[in-house]
Amino acid sequence: MNASNPVVCAGVVVADHLCSPVDHLPQAGELVAADDLVLNIGGCASNAAMNLARLGVRSSILGKIGDDVFGKFVAETLAKAHVDVDRLVVDPSLPTSQTLIVNVKGQDRRFIHSFGANKALTVEDLDPALSANPKVFYLGGYLILPGLDPHALANRFAQSRLRGTVIVLDVATPGPGDYLRQLEPVLPHTDIFLPNEDEAKLILNDPDPRRQASAFHQLGAKHVVITRGSQGVVAVSDTLQIELEAYPVEFVDGSGGGDAFDAGYITGLIEGLDETQRLLLASAVGASCVRAVGATAGVFTRQEAQDFIDRHPAVIKSLG
């Protein structure tokens, strides 16, 4: 791993198979035509790394892929985007994780997923990268990484924060589960927690994003941002409690919007922006993602993001 990379993106790495939006789901035996079928990079960690590169931030990827054609595609795509792939490990015993994403016009996406090599990622795999003291360590897809023991992970996060690393955590929740038990040891050692509204509802059994943000903050996360898609974000910390409306863009595909938001937020951390400025940048980058099919194709460059922010005054409401 290149020691000059300020960000490590660890966690879920996936090859995505996507269709452009179709009119309806096919019935049994029916063929529905799509304008395009796309093989693309996917997964929280790889999406964030790709988007950081687009924003001009150097990062390395830490995850596992299989010894197959999809693993080669993932590794080559990341490398071509100038992401450091030295910590991307090939596990010959498992296939590369894949997701089939079906887009239907006017409906939320549908996912069919195989966990593949992501299942084999352990806390010990994180140690070399954490010991290099990156400025930011981002773990994406926690809660669907069964090899990460919560107490061991909390210990690593605590040690890294003492050495000055900022810990950014995002999660994925495929359905109902006992997620809070896995989060409680980790959140007190997390600087930025970035779940979406649906994930937070599954974790807390509470649909209200304001209460969600407050609850996670009370559980120890220093900064909590609940992303809500077209409804914007709710952010809570010791010094900030606001609701930010979403930026207006033409929606094509929501795949990777949250990961793009994460990349924008991390870019703001690296640049030393204050909390509100980080949220504005993250919201703009997240909005840019949904303009195209796939998790990275539509994402702004840093200058494009700034130009967009300058043209679209933000609507910010205090929660106080």
How much of the chain exceeds pLDDT 70, in percent?
A: 98
Residue 109: inside a domain: no
Residue 2: inside a domain: no
Tens digits of residue pLDDT in 151-192 = 999 999 999 999 999 999 999 998 899 999 999 999 999 999
The tokens for 239 are 């010094």
Query: Contact at 8 Å (CB) between 87 and 60?
Result: yes
Average pLDDT, whole number, for the chain? 94
Torsion angle of the four alpha carbons 274, 272, 85, 63, in this order, in degrees rounded to the nearest 10: -40
Residue 65: inside a domain: yes
How many domains, in total, are found in the chain? Answer: 1
pTM: 0.93
Tens digits of residue pLDDT in 91-109 = 999 999 999 989 899 888 8
- pLDDT at position 221 over 60: yes
The residue with tokens 């809660």 is: 143
Residue 33: inside a domain: no
Which structural domain, as residue segments, surrounds residue 261?
Answer: 7-12+43-95+116-318
The CATH number of whichever domain residue 190 belongs to comes to 3.40.1190.20
Residue 297: inside a domain: yes
Tens digits of residue pLDDT in 23-51 = 999 999 999 999 999 898 899 999 999 99
Cα separation, 91 vs 54, in Å, equals: 28
The tokens for 121 are 């990622």
- pLDDT at position 2 over 70: no
Tens digits of residue pLDDT in 303-314 = 999 999 999 999
Residue 21: inside a domain: no
